[in-house]
Amino acid sequence: MIIPNTFNLPVTTDNLLTFTSIPHLRTILKDLCNPFIVIGEASNILFTTRHYSGTILKSGISGYEFTESDSHMLVTAGSGLHWDDFVAETTRRNLWGAENLSYIPGTIGASAVQNIGAYGAEAKDIIHSVEAIEIATGNKRIFSCNECQYAYRSSIFKHDLANRYIITSVTYRLSRTPRPNLSYKPLAEAFANNPNPSIEQVRNTVINIRKSKLPEPSEIGSAGSFFMNPVIAQDDYERLKAKYPDIPHYVVNDSVTNQVVGIKIPAAWLIDQAGLKGYTIGGASVHVTQPLVLINKSGSATPDDIVALSQYIINKVKSLYNITLHPEVIFI
């Protein structure tokens, strides 16, 4: 059977199991053999072969629970829910905090593994706790947001605890009072004359910005940003700036000490300046309005096309700027 994936690659498996509750997951875990992987909507995964010979585990846990807590609402969502359905639901209820993350593909479970982010917000800003089942024992554990060790597109579930836990639900802490986060430039510009927008206005504006830059997920296969934005040393940045005075950059500070830890350079700019917008290998292309996104342009790209295109970009960016791009997408 085909493994659903947002690149729309024709990748197959013989064993795709969807669990719909914790007891169901525990039953599956008793008989689970290696290798296996857990996926949400495979919106951040690149299958590098046409057939995956292990087991694919997918969460089908759905449903919400709402608990009032002071000026906030705690919303527990099943890990298999589509992320943007959650944003639509919480926006409809006037619960603030997820609206800047509107229209991101993927699931609730993935939001907590990946610490999804966009337009000045990250999942970690609203995650209260994460419920997960230990694969080896079937035991349940609740992780506080702090214990998840969130960082840019990263968490403990991608590092120390990779392949050790399966997320079953995530609890978010959302504000019942308006809390517009308009710090990101395109949002600040859109609301320059309206500093107190409604939550629907923020959501709709985010969706329109995404639609103007990113490929429509239902029409063109992609995995969103293919690479992470690199953080380089200050000296390296000064050298690049001498050559490219207009290079966009963001200073990155340590969240505890507030010391400068490096300079973040938009990978989209590096790829754009390298002249790679629209560059194509086989059925795979660099998206023209957001070159950080690699697309299955023809609809018939193979995993090899996408791997070759990503390697070409890494090599070209390295040779031009001496910066190594690291994929955000996970290669399986």
Q: Interface with ligand EPU by CB under 6 A: which residues?
A: 118-119, 213, 224-225, 228-229, 248, 266, 268-269, 272, 290-292, 328
Report how far residue 199's alpha carbon sits from residue 203's, in angstroms, rounded to the nearest whole number.
6
Q: Which one of the listed residues 129, 225, 285, 310 is annotated catalytic?
A: 225
Q: How far is the CB of 167 from ligand EPU (least distance, A)?
A: 19
Report how far residue 161's alpha carbon sits from residue 36's, in angstroms, rounded to the nearest whole number.
15
H or E segment to which residue 230 belongs: none
Q: How far is the CB of 20 from ligand EPU (least distance, A)?
A: 28
Q: Which one of the listed residues 153, 173, 203, 210 is annotated catalytic?
A: 153
Residues 6 or more apart from 6 whose CB is under 8 A from it? Answer: 41, 42, 43, 105, 217, 221, 222, 223, 224
Inter-axis angle of helices 83-92 and 199-213, nearest 10: 150
Q: For 75-88, b where at least 16 C-beta lie within 10 A, e where not — what string?
A: bbbbbbbebbebbb
By C-beta, is 113 or 292 nearer to ligand EPU?
Answer: 292
By C-beta, is 17 or 288 nearer to ligand EPU?
Answer: 288
By C-beta, is 59 or 111 nearer to ligand EPU?
Answer: 111
Q: Is 173 a catalytic residue?
A: no
Q: How far is the CB of 226 from ligand EPU (least distance, A)?
A: 8
| Residue number closest to ligand EPU, CB atom | 224
By C-beta, is 100 or 168 nearer to ligand EPU?
Answer: 100
Q: How far is the CB of 102 from ligand EPU (least distance, A)?
A: 10
Which tokens sit at 85?
């359905």
Q: Is 328 a catalytic residue?
A: yes
CA geometry: angle at 179 spanning 174 and 181, to 5°? 105
Q: Is 225 a catalytic residue?
A: yes
Residue numbers annotated as active site: 153, 225, 328
